[in-house]
């Protein structure tokens, strides 16, 4: 199966979910999503960074500079309080949408 590009809304949701556990930097987030989805979704820099900036502008995540093990500086993003609320909302609506879509697909077959 070829890796799939993510839709914007879904990517946002996955990033929020990924950061729910602990703060991560860009490479870490991309790795984590690829790893958790078993390589189904890859996140390129061209969609990752715009998404991070969009989310931090909405106030859902906040970035802070910190050092990697290699000693290199990187920006670590963490979920904010409004971000947590937003994630909860999105989880709910995702579940709803998923149920609805599944129903439609089940009907067809």
Partner 1 sequence: MSRFDRILRPRRAEAELDEEVRSYYEVQVERAMARGLTREQAERAVRLSSGGSEQVKQLSREARMGAFLESIWRDVRFAARLLAKSPGFTFFAVLTIALALGANAAIFSLVDGVLLKSASYPEPERIVQLWEKNPRGGRNGIAPANYLDWVRQSKSFEAMAAFSFGSMSYSGGGEVRSLRSGHVSAPYFDVFGVKPALGRTFTRDEDQLGKGKVVILTHRVWTASFGSDPGIVGREIRLDGMPHTVIGVLPGSSEFDRRSNDIWVPLVFPAQVPRDYHTYGAMARLARGVSREQAQTEMSSIAEEIARQYPAAKKGWSAIVDNYMDRVNGPQIRLQLKVLMWAVAAVLLIGCVNLANLLMARGTLRSREMALRLALGAGPARIARMLLIESLLIASLGASAGLLLGYGLLRWIQQLMPPFFLPAEAHVAIDYRVLAFLAAAAVATSLAFGLMPALQASRGVAADALREGGRGSSAGKGKLLARHAFVSVQVAAAFMLLVGAGLLIRSFANVLNVDTGFSSEGLVAGYLPIVQDGDPDADRLRQYIDRAVGEIRSLPGVTGAAVASAIPLRGWGDGMPMWLPEKPDETRFTGFKIATPDYLRVLGLKVVEGRLLDETDKAGSPLVTVVNESFVRLYYPNQSVVGKRILVERILPTRRGLGPKSAWEIVGVVADEKGRGLESPNDIGAYASFAQNPVVGLGLVVRGQGEPGALIKSVQQALWRVNKDQVFDNPMAVEQWKEQSMVGRRMTVSLLAGFAVLALLLACAGIYGVLSFVTARRAQEMGIRAAMGATPGDLIRLVLTAGAIPVVLGLAVGLSGSIGLGTTIESLLFQTKAADPMTLGSVAAIFLLVAMAACLVPALRAARADPMTALRQD
Q: By the criterion CB under 8 A, which residues form the site for partner 1?
A: 25-27, 44-47, 49-54, 57-59, 63, 68, 70, 72-75, 80-82, 85
Determine the Cα–Cα distance for residues 9 and 51; give it in Å rounded to an integer: 9
Whichever of 39 and 103 has its CB closer to partner 1, that residue is 39
Reported as type and span, the H/E element at residue 82 is helix 81-108
Spatial neighbors of 46 by CB under 8 A, at least 6 apart, are none
User: Minimum distance from CB of 40 to partner 1 (Å)?
Assistant: 17
User: Minimum distance from CB of 39 to partner 1 (Å)?
Assistant: 14
Determine the Cα–Cα distance for residues 50 and 10; give it in Å rounded to an integer: 14
Whichever of 50 and 98 has its CB closer to partner 1, that residue is 50
Whichever of 54 and 91 has its CB closer to partner 1, that residue is 54
For β-strands 61-67 and 24-25, DSSP reports them as unpaired
Whichever of 44 and 99 has its CB closer to partner 1, that residue is 44
Cβ atoms < 10 Å from Cβ of 80: 17
């Amino acid at each position: 199966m070829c890796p799939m590009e993510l839709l914007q809304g879904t990517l946002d949701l996955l990033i929020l979910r990924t950061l729910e556990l602990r703060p991560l930097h860009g490479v870490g987030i991309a790795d984590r999503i690829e790893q958790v989805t078993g390589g189904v979704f890859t996140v390129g820099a061209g969609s990752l960074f715009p998404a991070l900036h969009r989310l931090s502008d909405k106030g859902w995540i906040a970035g802070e500079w910190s050092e990697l093990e290699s000693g290199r500086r990187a920006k670590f993003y963490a979920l904010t309080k409004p971000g947590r609320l937003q994630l909860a909302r999105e989880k709910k609506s995702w579940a709803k949408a998923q149920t609805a879509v599944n129903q439609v697909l089940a009907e067809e077959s």
